[in-house]
Structure 1
């Protein structure tokens, strides 16, 4: 293995990847392990020590945890760094999912300390072996290809700070060698040898076998991860252009099909940052959107949201909001010669037909009807399954009326339906009415689509 100057390499990484500036306040997530100790010793040589805050979280998982916390505190003090610590006592650990809960605790505490010191950079001691292990774990687990970018040099942590890894291309063996040469103390975590964990099996069994086959395997895996990261960056740049097009029209046919899933994934990530969208869902949505036999459809993303296809458009709807809207739909008895306001902002009035001149609004649409005395009272109600209009030569389902009018599927249950006393449909308000013989017209609806 080629020897390198660790401190010089870290400096080069910081400059090449623009990880932080000399004026930046740094929060360093540190354990008692060799990688963290090398990072702290290096920072003491290349950064203003008054601008470094060492953070240690004691997860209370091992007998030596308290000793490790005390050790990290002493090391931080020896370099002139500030020190912050948190002990997550075992009594507060959940019965299952301890690892995920611990990650949440760490990130919350790091965020708290970063805000306390107004730090813009949070450093971790991830190294080349960590990157290779993560790459292999994700490769074995399966998923989306861009996840193979593995651990990146930097990423956004929150609205104020970034998470950076200045040792990502340095093998752990070189960190150990550097620590020994410079007499740096550290603790070994015995749990890292427990093969019950997937990462430990990769670290202690699989990765060493790969490196025995190819001594440069770490570097090559990291290069693959970098290439994937670079391609992912280029894709995101192109996707951002497509997203601007979508924001204007919601017409997804503007997007080449080869870019559909990538654009949709980013669109949903922006709209629903806390919702995990699976690859299978993206494939289902693509299949629905390009299925010419189904101009309308919907796919539920989770308990709260669904994606609705309406011809060329895709709309993200909150299911709970839609349910609330349906509760507010009209259900009124219609009285002759009274104006009725509609949810869409329009209005109408029912009048008896007369040969006398009437004071009509010039914007009104006149809709003729023939109503027998037993047709009263008329009602406005919601659409029902099986509703249909009477035409000159048959019937037409209300659903077909709305489809032909290209009414979005999520709006169809909001359309008002005028019916007679026998619940027979007379008028799909704003769209189509029953056919009537001109000689039999005895009532008229004066309909104004929008109130001016």
Structure 2
């Protein structure tokens, strides 16, 4: 058994998940990496202990180069699969994107691979990523800027969650058995075994950052230390272990730190986040963004984590918001921070008004909420118990019943209150702050106001001393509030 095959076999067998793999889907492009992978796997399943394993070939055309080249690659892959009596699937990218090409192409490719796994009932997926790929990817991410998770780079064996064309979710073991091989080793192996492959000519074009890193930057660094690739990959594996340890710790703490309110909304407990050390706050927020937020938002500004840290620690302004990412906001309301999609601007509520134009009649405030001014004789004990809220009034000093209307708060609103020193006026805005009413709810609170624009009642919160009965027998009217549905 030659050294390359032995190293490959040992790598595959080192993964416990390999024991569960009966049907293995191979992502084969037609390049040297994937054609060597295909050759090695064909050799492996010919061994007696693995003759029950089935290989499935999956080829995806990204349509980013000339049709002639893609046709040649596909023909090579299909002919090789037929030669060895392998099941194969081919597909193409129907609508190649004009921007963010690498990420979108990867997404389209893995969607196709998820379809193949479903169709073939595959147990695991293998790709031909090698050591050069791993180092180039990590280096490229460092140049562009990345997170702790981004520095973990290309993992050699893990459970991958993929979405198929029908939006079904596929979970599979993703294996990269060539991850410890240099690309030069694969060229030598292909030559020694006369393996046909096609070279991607776009790999020579220096307009792509990855190609500049591969052809210009990394060779210079490798001259300083020939072990640079192995050293960087070893560091990458240490970072992967470190991230995994932090992730497992975070998962234990997540139910205490935040709650998922619905599909696209979370509430962070400010006090619980403050109790963490600075280091854990930053690491846990990073993990939240990488493992939770990015799944629904697609991206986020790296500065968003710093803004959120400030929002957690801010003791002077417990109610404010900022843009977290395109279409997303972080909204602090006292002891909680809500991370949610940015809502469209709501209509101005301060101009909305309902006049209580007659007594003993219900008026709708919308959303099933009703209010009315009723004569005392009209209201019995059972009725008072049945409603959600009420306010007793003494209007005996008026020849005509004062006119009341309902509206939302306006700048300068005051309410008359009593104290041991006599009556005084207090701003509605101050009451809302003192009662810690979230800013998002303040403009939605209903106020009962008389024709002099004096606030009589903040429904559900505070009532004025004006019209307040001194004795039960002085009650002449009731304001009743009822949630009908």
Normalising by the residue count of structure 2, what TM-score does the alignment of the two structures yield? 0.79
Residue 154 of structure 2 corresponds to residue 128 of structure 1: no
For 1:404-415, list aligned pairs within 5 A.
Answer: 404-415=434-445
Quote how far apart the aligned CAs of 1:98 are.
Answer: 4.3
For 1:417-432, list aligned pairs within 5 A.
Answer: 417-432=447-462
For 1:355-394, list aligned pairs within 5 A.
Answer: 361=384, 367=391, 369=393, 376-391=402-417, 394=424
- SS of 1:191's partner is helix
Residue 69 of structure 2 corresponds to residue 69 of structure 1: no
> Are the structure 2 counterparts of residues 322 and 26 from structure 1 closer, same or farther at C-alpha, using a change threshold of 3 Å?
farther
Residue 137 of structure 2 corresponds to residue 111 of structure 1: no
- The CA distance in 2 between the partners of 1:342 and 1:223, in whole Å, is 66
Quote how far apart the aligned CAs of 1:342 are.
Answer: 7.5
- The CA distance in 2 between the partners of 1:387 and 1:111, in whole Å, is 60
1:156 is matched with: 160
1:201 is matched with: 212
For 1:96-245, list aligned pairs within 5 A.
Answer: 96-153=99-156, 154-158=158-162, 159-162=169-172, 163-245=174-256
Aligned residues: 444
- SS of 1:174's partner is helix
- The CA distance in 2 between the partners of 1:317 and 1:286, in whole Å, is 17
> Are the structure 2 counterparts of residues 385 and 281 from structure 1 closer, same or farther at C-alpha, using a change threshold of 3 Å?
farther
Quote how far apart the aligned CAs of 1:176 are.
Answer: 1.9
Q: Which residue of 287, 295, 298 corresponds with 1:273?
A: 295
Quote how far apart the aligned CAs of 1:200 are.
Answer: 0.7
- SS of 1:301's partner is strand
RMSD: 3.6
1:298 is matched with: 321
2:48 is matched with: none
Q: Which residue of 413, 418, 432 corresponds with 1:402?
A: 432
- The CA distance in 2 between the partners of 1:20 and 1:318, in whole Å, is 41
Structure 2: unaligned runs, 5 residues or longer: 46-50, 163-168, 260-266
Q: Looking at secondary structure, tell me which structure has more strand per residue.
A: 2
- The CA distance in 2 between the partners of 1:443 and 1:6, in whole Å, is 97
Contact 1:28 1:55 in 2 (8 A): yes
Quote how far apart the aligned CAs of 1:320 are.
Answer: 3.4
Q: Summarize deviations over 1:99-125 as a string: whole Å, max 9, x none.
A: 444334322322222221122422210
2:305 is matched with: 282
1:78 is matched with: 83
Please say which of residues 247-256 and 279-288 is displaced more in the overlay: 247-256
2:270 is matched with: 252
- The CA distance in 2 between the partners of 1:117 and 1:366, in whole Å, is 67
- The CA distance in 1 between the partners of 2:252 and 2:226, in whole Å, is 42
Structure 1: unaligned runs, 5 residues or longer: none
- The CA distance in 2 between the partners of 1:120 and 1:14, in whole Å, is 14
Contact 2:390 2:481 in 1 (8 A): no
Quote how far apart the aligned CAs of 1:251 are.
Answer: 2.2
> Are the structure 2 counterparts of residues 220 and 375 from structure 1 closer, same or farther at C-alpha, using a change threshold of 3 Å?
farther
2:283 is matched with: 262
Contact 1:308 1:410 in 2 (8 A): no
1:20 is matched with: 18
- The CA distance in 2 between the partners of 1:375 and 1:318, in whole Å, is 47
> Are the structure 2 counterparts of residues 277 and 99 from structure 1 closer, same or farther at C-alpha, using a change threshold of 3 Å?
closer
Normalising by the residue count of structure 1, what TM-score does the alignment of the two structures yield? 0.85
